[in-house]
Amino acid sequence: MLQLLWIIPALPAAGFVVLALLNRHLGRRAAAVIGAGSVGLSAVVALLVAVSFIASPPPGDVYRQVLWTWFDTGGLAPQIAFYLDAMSVIFVVVITFVGFLIHLYSTEFMERDEGYTRFFMYMNLFVASMLVLVLADNLLLLYLGWEGVGLCSYLLISFWQRDLQNVYAGRKAFIVTRIGDTALIIGLFLLFTQLHTLAIQPLMAGAAKEWPVGSGFAVAAAALLLGGAVGKSAQLPLQTWLPDAMAGPTPVSALIHAATMVTAGVYLIARTNVLFTLAPDVRLAVAIVGTVTLLYACFCALAQHDIKRVLAYSTMSQIGYMFLALGVAGWSAAIFHFMTHAFFKALLFLAAGAVIESLGGEHDIFKMGGLRRKLPTAFWAFIVGAASLAAMPLVTSGFYSKDLIIETSLGSVDGNAWLWLGALVGSLLTSIYAFRLVFVVFFGDQQTPVTRRPRWRMLLPLWVLSALSLIGGFVWLPEWMGSFHPLENFLGEALPPLKTVASSFAYTGVSALLTSLVAVVGVALATVWLVESRAALGDFAARPTPHALQEFWLNGWGFDWLYEHVFVIPVKWFARVARNDLVEPAFSGLAWLNVQAWRALSASQNGVLRVYIAVAGVGLVVILAFVVLR
Amino acid sequence: MILLWYILIPAVAAPLAWLLSLSRPQAARWVAVAGTSLPLALVTWQWVAQAGALRAAFAAHGPGVAGLVQGTWLADIHAAWISPLGISFFLAEDGLTLIMLVLTFAMGLLAVLASWRGIQERVGFFHFMILWTTAALAGVFLSLDLFLFYFFFEMMLIPMYFVIALWGHEKRVYAAIKFFIFTQASGLLMLIAILALYFIHGRATGTYTFDFTQLLGTQMPSATAFLLMLGFFAAFAVKLPAFPLHTWLPDAHTEAPTAGSVILAGVLIKIGAYGMIRFMVPLFPQAVYDFRTVGMVLAVIGIIYGAVMAYAQRDLKRLVAYTSVSHMGFVLLGIFAWNTLALQGVVLQIVCHALSTGALFILVGTLQDRVHTRDMTKMGGLWAVAPRMGGTAMFFALASLGLPGLGNFVAEFLILVGTWQVSKWAAVLGAVGLVFATVYALWMMQRAFQGEETHALRFNDLVPRETGMYAALIAALVVLGFYPQPLIATVRQTVTSVQQITAGSPLSPKPTSAVQVGIPADRAPAAAAVADGTTTDGGR
């Protein structure tokens, strides 16, 4: 069964090619069948491969499939080859399965749009690129997938390209992530030059063998890879593209946030964990970036009034948790959170999409309200998603993965109390903004009439994802709930185990209790804020200081403004000044001198005989004087 | 003999096209198609047939001067011409020549096809000029006698001048004269360098010859060598073009008719790269080494400056022209890095840039034919009008920004990774250039194709002849993106030979044993290939 591996990315890729070639000749139905069908089939194959991988593990718990050698010169011979281990199994299954649900949903969501075929073409390429990324055997092939998802994010965010605002957002996503990508590719230069291969496993083995812990090469390489990861995963300081990426159709947001793109950075760091183990300083930087980003994004989310932007910041925050886990060497915990996050974030986006679509494209949460009776499925899906996002204890999947990360941030030998505290505060804030969203959108008075109701192709993914968001966490229960952690055992084949401080406070169960507590307190605070004393708080928020703070958070702490002034405006200024080429004057000046010389010489040929004689006479005198006086 | 055909077929077709056009203008087009596709078929056949020979020659002779001189040519012609002056009719072909010939004829054919509708005046004379250029270009790539090389180098200038001056756009005469003066002036510097080399070699050995293979390794003071190297560099840097000698290019490309731009961008500027690899560096390795820092700085400035300038333009064609400055910066960088990775990248970049930029010029041409402007501020929302054209433009814009999966990426990656081994900062700054490439490529798409249709332009989408051309170019770029090995294998002999020639200089560091040591056990076959001499810098 494992030989079918190459078919998993090949199916959506083929879907892309077919849709691209037949574009105009396909009806909507055919486009939907090819677009969603290819990913669906891919998901089936992925499940088969996963079952086969688990039932009869290949030798060394790794399956490698070489298709062909990409090129071979100068000692550089990357292969088009796929590498399947426990970690890529998880990623592949989640990507194809969640990806399929999103495709299915899109067949209905996009049905009234022009460019239906183009939409599925890009979506298929997106899934294919992400699959290449997580299956790549070497870093160059990974980079191919990496750039592929960047491209698809651009194409899909600017999908409604009549509006230049959307194009701008897409362009921003591509360019900002490409800045990170540049760091990554420089990392590739470094790794290849030092270790003479780009194949990931030999590379990791070589690094472990040749570089001592803390060596300059290891630090530089890990830092460069981190640069790539923060770009794709929208972490500080390259996070600015993610909120604007909401310009795309909602299923695109779901795909970017749940199954593809933003988790690429998490995958990259987990995949190259050896490098990060060799560079403890960089790993600490990963943890700090994660913690700071998760808090930053929470504050931003609290102030947004676009339903999708709240969710965008929540993604940034949850990826922050994954980075935090990676930073304290909780590799498996990060992957666990990736999985549960994929379920509940896809659910939240798809539910939000159903709401937006039902209200005729309304994004502002304060123009929604009272929708719980009109859109019961979306309401319950949103409740489940928000609860999971907020880590409501015991019943949601998000609780198990987030609690694990919070515990790890303290219990790992690399953990510390500050990281733990940050994660806990983040959890409280998450709970507040998640339920703020629920209360504003679904409770209170209805503001906008419901014009359209979702049908089964949009509802089915909501049900399935709701179920997964509830039960998806039971694959790794905390110690105090009993010893049941098949996911940990499974990932343990591919990722190094976590070294913990055995006597840590983190594992006493008190930490878990606190995690549960802050989630519940968060809901309570949101209730107080929005249901009990909305008017009073409204007055408070209208005062200058809180209002300014709210504006500050709304605009993402002014990062856009900063980058605009530091980078964009100078480049634009230079481009404007240099439009006619700065070196051109040197050459046109030369031409001008020539013309002047020609003028002067022409002027001397004026046909007046006495001038000629006078000039000749003076010349003769000068020459004679020169000869005589020499 | 086959080499002569490459020059003769287009050279004979040229007057034929003109003569036949006197009765029926359309006939000139078909003669031109034949005059370019026939040698294209011939060289492709030779490529396929000799693929084995290329490998065998490599295995039998190994890399090196010995191999280069003693008949590892795929074919050669060595006839006396002006013997008293040591001038011979010396044509030879190796893998690099072969690739350049494929490119020449393919771009020639493309130029003819792209002018099918656009050129309606003096059709016969136009195709006469195009075929003449093609013949001269083939001569440039085949000559190994420096006098003959210079002869063809100048030959190709004249028809190109006329193509720009007669069929160009608004400022065509200005652009044509600028192009002519730049190329001519720098070409004269090269002629001086060639003559000086001829006399220095003659005085030292008593053999006065223009034969490049004999001139290799001529002993001379390093200051002299440096000056002569600068003479060659001037000519090739103008052609390439390298910053700051690039200012003829935006004018010439913009004002030239589509066919002219295609040949200029596709082949003509590549002479700069070819000349450096074939002649300049092998003749003066030490001088090139002394010049390396300056060369790399110019290359990096070219990459970033060209990209920013592209972004600054309002004229779509001028934008594409400036992207060439940026892309040729990579080529220059790779040449000065002078190792296998970088040089293979350079050759790949030469080919991929020809395909992607050629396509962009044709696209701008078809757009201009339809909307009668190149000003991007007068476009916008064209995707909705012509979606096939929009999608095609998107593809080539992505190729231009170096998207993985297309040949341009492999080329730029190889160049940069090779450069990294020589100069880390140059590689880093070159990689930063990729970000700027993203900016101009997406900007171009936004200005012309996305947004609202602001100018109510209505025109036809691509017709089958155009779709066919683009499809072929797209296919070629995708194949090169996922499997460039055939091309790499074809030029491997050349790439190792030229490095072998310069092995005595600090330009090619002696391979260290670290290369073998560092390769993990499971990559042993690759290590064997290294030992085979295919991979390390310089050779054994």
Q: How many domains does chain B have?
A: 2
Question: Can you give B432-452 as a three-state secondary structure string?
Answer: HHHHHHHHHHHHHHHHHHCCC
pLDDT at B414: 94
The pLDDT value given to residue B377: 82
B105 three-class SS:
helix
**Is there a single domain that holds both residue B252 and residue B384?**
no
Residues forming a β-bridge with B143: B91
Mutate to test the interface with A, among B417, B419, B435, B440 (most CBs of A within 10 A): B417
Residue A534: pLDDT band with limits 50, 70, 90: low
pLDDT at A267: 93
Quote the minimal CA–CA distance from B367 to chain A in Å.
20
Q: Do B442 and A174 touch (CB under 8 A)?
A: yes
Asked whether residue B47 is assigned to any structural domain, the reply reads yes
All residues at 6 or more sequence positions from B418 whose CB lies less than 8 Å from its CB, including other chains: A74, B334, B337, B339, B340, B341, B342, B343, B344, B345
Task: Check whether residue B269 and residue B378 sit in a common domain.
Answer: no
CA B467 to the chain's CA centroid = 24
Mean pLDDT throughout A297-305?
A: 87
Do B422 and B496 reside in the same domain of the chain? yes
pLDDT in tens, A490-510: 888 888 888 877 777 767 777
Q: How far A118 CA sits from the closest chain B CA (Å)?
A: 10
- Residues B136 and B278 reside in one and the same domain: yes
Token pair, residue A303, equals: 């102030």
Q: Given B250, B421, B451, which is nearest A193 (Cβ)?
A: B421
The per-residue pLDDT for range B379-389, each reduced to its tens digit, is 878 888 888 88
Higher pLDDT, B263 or B455: B263
- Whether residues B523 and A197 touch (CB distance < 8 A) is answered with yes
pLDDT reading at B56 higher than 70: no
Structural domain includes residue B163: yes
Please give the residue range of the domain that contains residue B240.
1-283
Can you tell me whether residue B238 is helix, strand or coil? Answer: helix
What pLDDT does residue B72 have? 62
Do B157 and B49 fall into the same domain?
yes
Report how far apart, in Å, the C-alpha atoms of B160 and of each of A265, B27, B191 are.
50, 22, 20
On whether residue B237 sits in a domain, the answer given is yes
B289 within some domain? no
- B268 and B142 in a single domain? The answer is yes
Torsion angle of C-alpha atoms A504, A506, A508, A511, degrees rounded to 10: 150
Domain boundary among B214, B248, B283: B283
Summarize the confidence of residues B103-128 as an average pLDDT.
88
Model pLDDT for residues A571-601, shown as the tens digit of each residue: 888 888 888 888 888 888 888 998 999 998 8
pLDDT band for A8, please (50, 70, 90 cuts): very high
Query: How high is the pLDDT of residue B67?
Result: 45
Mean pLDDT of all residues in B275-295: 91
Residue type for A225, please?
L
Percent residues over pLDDT 70 in chain B: 90
Are B363 and B316 in a shared domain?
A: yes
Lowest-confidence range among A13-22, A34-43, B499-508, B526-535? B526-535
Question: Given an 8 Å threshold on Cβ–Cβ distance, is B417 in contact with A196?
Answer: no
pLDDT for A239-261, tens place per residue? 888 888 888 888 998 888 887 88
Query: Considering only A373-377, A448-452, A578-582, B187-191, which range has the smallest mean pLDDT?
Result: A448-452
Q: Which of A575, A583, A591 is nearest to B249 (CA)?
A: A583
What are the tokens at A295? Answer: 């808090």
pLDDT at A533 (0 to 100): 64
Q: What is the mean pLDDT of chain B?
A: 85
Whether B294 maps to a domain, the answer reads no
State the nearest Cα–Cα gap between B500 and chain A, in angstroms: 14
> What is the per-residue pLDDT for B528?
38
Q: Is B208 part of any domain? A: yes
In a domain, B291, yes or no: no
Residue B58 pLDDT: 58
- Examine the pLDDT at B516 and tell me if it is beyond 80: no
Find all residues with CB under 8 Å of A371, minimum gap 6, and list them: A355, A358, A378, A379, A441, A442, A446, A450
pLDDT of residue B490: 86
Is it the case that residue A570 has pLDDT exceeding 90? no
Q: Please say whether the beta carbons of A224 and A185 come within 8 A.
A: no
pLDDT for B330: 94
Same domain, B34 and B87: yes
Domain end among B256, B283, B310: B283
Cβ atoms within 10 Å of A418's Cβ, excluding its own: 13
Q: Show residues of chain B in contact with A164, CB under 8 Å.
A: 446, 450-452
Question: Does the pLDDT value for residue A489 go beyond 90?
Answer: no
What pLDDT, on a 0 to 100 scale, did the predictor assign at position B419?
93
SS3 per-residue string spanning A196-209: CCCEHHHHHHHHHH
B62 pLDDT exceeds 70? no
Quote the pLDDT of residue A455. Answer: 82
Q: Give pLDDT tens digits for A544-569.
A: 777 778 778 778 788 888 888 888 88
CA distance B122 to B126: 6
Give me chain A's average pLDDT, please.
Answer: 87
Contact indicator for B357, B270 with CB cutoff of 8 Å? no
In this structure, the answer to whether residues B264 and B326 fall within a common structural domain is no
The predicted structure's pLDDT at residue B346: 94
Whole-model pTM: value is 0.90
B513, pLDDT greater than 60? no
**B283, B312, B333 - which closes a domain:** B283
Same domain (yes/no): B257, B369: no
**Claim to verify: residue B253 and residue B278 sit in the same structural domain:** yes
Which residues 545-604 in chain A show a CB within 8 A of chain B? 571, 574-576, 578-579, 581, 583-584, 586-587
| Same domain, residue pair B157 and B234 | yes
pLDDT for B295: 92
**Number of inter-chain CB pairs under 8 A, A vs B:** 167
Please check whether residue B288 lies inside any domain of the structure: no
Which pLDDT belongs to residue A623? 93
Give the model's confidence band at B70: pLDDT under 50 very low, under 70 low, under 90 confident, else very high: very low
CB A423 within 8 A of CB A403: no
* Nearest C-alpha in A relative to B405: A144
Q: Residue B514's pLDDT is what?
A: 38
User: What does the DSSP assignment read for A494-512?
Assistant: TSPPPPB-TT-GGGGSHHH
Contact list in A for residue B414 (CB cut-off 8 A) is: 73-74, 76
Confidence of residue B511 (pLDDT cuts 50, 70, 90): low
pLDDT at A629: 84
